[in-house]
Structure 1
Amino acid sequence: MKEKQSVKELQPYVVNPIVCSVKLDANEGSKDLFKDLVKQLGEEFYLNVYPDDSYIDLKKSISNYVGCEISNICVGNGSSELLDLCIKTFVDRDELILSLDPSFAMYSIYAKIFDTKYMGAESEDDFVINADKFIHAIKENNPKVTIICNPNNPTGSMIKKDDVIKIIKSTDNIVIVDEAYMEFGDESVVEEIENYKNLIVVKTLSKAFSMAGIRTGYLLACEELVKTVEKVRPPYNLNSISAFLATKALEEKDKMIAYAKGIKKEREKVYKSLKDMNVKAFPSGANFLFFHSDIKNLEEKLVKEDVLIRKFGGKLDNHYRVTIGSEDENNEFIKAMKKFV
């Protein structure tokens, strides 16, 4: 049996299989932040029954964390599933999805899977996003859905909240703001979901909450949009263990806040170190730094030092992304970089 043409031509999202002691390639968080929560599962936790499909306990914790109503929340198997659901829900075949260029690779992959069109609006020099030019692209191309990753992955660049609101106002169609890394920035538009009926905010526990392994994300929007997405959401899409651990982690948000504060401090240290080495690093509002280097085979050289970062190719050849890890991990990265600069 042959796959459909859009899948046949698809280049999959590839995860790096290389293993290093200092793993700074995937923007993961601290392995210790919420590890004790697993012990709370206890003997009263049963695996033979389906999850509560309303996920009411998790939604209550999310509601308390972000300050919205339960009716404004949809939960999913990572923010990736929620982005997938949004495209299924709002974009028909051959309609356009507009995003940034460069940005998270999965946006264009979803577009290809669902036989929709995809366009990335190019950023300015040094990957700064010009809101007025982006709005011009929206008005010129009339995308069915616009996706803004803020802070942007892989560049770390930030769009000011006022500019995001200008973008939302520029169209009647859906604007999705992917705030996977926003706990490390300060320009969230979550509090605007009731003010703009075309706004969807997608967030995750994978980054600042350091819980990538439980694959838990959530979508925030006005009640009407949430009800529409819920029509497409499959039942029991989040498993009981993930829902339980996410609920408990959100109840201990102070741990995350302290952790994120530490990451911001380390981010500035690593940024300064790279600049001191005359490496072209770009300002970031996320838990990673994006930088340019002409050092030949830099990724391979760092792997030999037991340090793994993310290498990019194509238009982003000679660009790299390094996750901000623990103080020791960051020091190992800086130490290794100094050998080759």
Structure 2
Amino acid sequence: MNYFRKSIHEMSGYVPGEQPPLGTKIIKLNSNENPYPPSPKALKVLQQIDPEMLRRYPDPTGKSFRIAAGKALGVPDDWIAVGNGSDDLLNLIVRAVGEAGKPVVCPSPTYVLYRTLAEIQDAEFVEVPYPDDYKLPVDLLIAAQGAVTFIASPNSPSGTAISVADLEKLAQDLSGILVIDEAYVDFAENSALELTKKYSNVIILRTLSKGYSLAGLRLGFAIANPTLLAELNKIKDSYNVDAIAYAVAAGAIADSDHKTANAEKIKASRSQLAVIFKELGFEVWPSQTNFLLVRPPNGDAQRIYQTLKERGILIRYFNQPRLDDKLRISIGTEEQNQILLKTLKEIL
């Protein structure tokens, strides 16, 4: 007996990267987590949490965090909405927009959750293929005229940059909402944040999971015109983010120096790894994220993924068209990167 909607019963749910228990002797390079610790200022906030914060419900709008984020980014706090990770905000957007006759559009391959959320809503889902160089197919995306169009910028899992000019062209010519998912912006050269001031249909998504080393906190936020955010706030859970997350996140986002210093270390390691991978015969896509997409010399990505796993190193393998001969590898600490390279050389 199936008690669920037909579309739910038949769909495949989103599969996150493996999460071994804390303390497991694993080099974890599969979920694009930041390998360096969070800001000491954020940790100090955590140590000084008032127990009263646990007894009471949190502020439903996260005012304290929105003020801190607005100050850090130079935007008014009413232009910010907060979610339980940016995935929560993606879910709100699809719930608010997706229905029959209103397609959800994105280039492909990209973040698989966009498809999953559309399927949950029984919304039409349109994928526009990326060319091999991952240049954004702007004209085809415009032609699709989605009720909402998702662009990961930089893209995942390719790590490639999206030009702000291409994103602005979309903002101008799309009749629906343009969501620019900047999860990896802290490792990139450019941001499309200014587009929110010029176009009322643009939503920028950010997360503290990557640049700020707070993946376990689950806090993301949207930046957009307040009239757009007001519609999303109608359907969010009353208290979708907890009080501790708000407090710690406010401390973290105020410490941009710490975030930037860690990002610079990751970017330097990314460049070094890209050179070595190429010397080992890998094809390497240019990355502006905290990971690299690579194709092994013989395309035997699944074998390499499995062998690394057996040796205590987790990376990401996607068993899907156009990605099944490639690997996505998060940038680790210098020590982790060296162990990875040594093990890869042995495998090859």
The reply to whether TM is greater than 0.5 is yes
Contact 1:135–1:170 under 8 Å retained in 2: no
Distance 2:303 2:204 in 1: 38
Matching residue within 292, 303, 321 for 1:297: 303
Return closer, same or farther for 1:142/1:17 CA change in 2, 3 Å cut-off.
closer
1:22-52 CA-partner distances (Å, limit 9, x unpaired): 1000000135233673443426342110001
Root-mean-square deviation (CA, aligned residues, Å) is: 1.6
Give the aligned partner of residue 3 of structure 1: 4
Cα distance in 1 for partners of 2:60, 2:73 equals 21
Separation of aligned partners in 2, 1:215 and 1:282: 29
Partner of 1:242, secondary structure, is helix
Corresponding residue of 1:307: 313
SS at match of 2:122: coil
Q: Which residue of 2 aligns with 1:37?
A: 42
TM-score (norm 2): 0.93
Q: Which residue of 2 aligns with 1:256?
A: 259
> For residue 27 of structure 2, what is the aligned residue in structure 1?
22
For the residues of structure 2 that align with 1:158 and 1:216, how far apart are their CA atoms?
24
What letter matches 1:49 in structure 2? R
CA contact (8 A) 1:62 1:250 kept: yes
Contact 1:313/1:319, CA 8 A, preserved across alignment: no
Is the counterpart of residue 319 in structure 1 residue 326 in structure 2? yes
- 2:29 partner letter: L
Instruction: Find the counterpart in structure 1 of residue 65 from structure 2.
Output: 58
State the Cα deviation string for residues 270-293 of structure 1 (Å, max 9, x = none). 111100101111111100000112
Contact 1:100–1:122 under 8 Å retained in 2: yes
Structure 1 position 5, deviation (Å): 1.1
The 1:18–1:88 alpha-carbon spacing in structure 2 relative to 1, beyond 3 Å, is closer
Q: Distance between the aligned counterparts of 2:206 and 2:62, measured in 1? A: 16
Please give the TM-score of this superposition, normalised by the length of structure 1.
Answer: 0.95
Please tell me whether residue 116 in structure 1 is matched to residue 134 in structure 2: no
Q: Which moved more, 1:155-164 or 1:106-115?
A: 155-164
**Gapped runs of 5+ residues in structure 1?**
none
Q: Could you say what secondary structure the match of 2:293 adopts?
A: strand
Check if 1:138 corresponds to 2:142: yes
Match runs of 1:53-132 below 5 Å: 53-126=60-133, 128-130=134-136
Q: Structure 2 unaligned segments of length 5 or more: list them.
A: none
Distance 2:43 2:257 in 1: 18
Superposed CA deviations along residues 137-181 of structure 1, whole A, max 9, x for unmatched, are 322x22111000011111101111111111211112100000000
CA gap of 1:201–1:44, structure 2 versus 1, over 3 A, is same
Q: Identify the match of residue 187 of structure 2 among 184, 188, 194.
A: 184
152, 157, 168: which one aligns with 2:155: 152
Of residues 199-208 and 52-61 in structure 1, the stretch that sits farther from structure 2 once superposed is: 52-61
Q: Distance in 2 between matches of 1:72 and 1:63?
A: 8
Change (3 A) 1:43 1:166: closer
Once the two structures are superposed, residues 222-274 of structure 1 have per-residue CA deviations (whole angstroms, 9 ceiling, x without a partner) of: 11101111111221110011111100101111100111111110000111110
- 2:251 is matched by which residue type in structure 1? K
Q: How many residues align?
A: 337
Q: Identity over aligned residues, as a percent?
A: 28
Aligned mates of 1:144, 1:44 — CA distance in 2: 43
2:12 & 2:36 partners in 1: Cα distance? Answer: 31
Give yes or no for contact 2:14–2:113 (8 Å, CA) kept in 1: yes
DSSP 3-state at the match of 2:158: coil
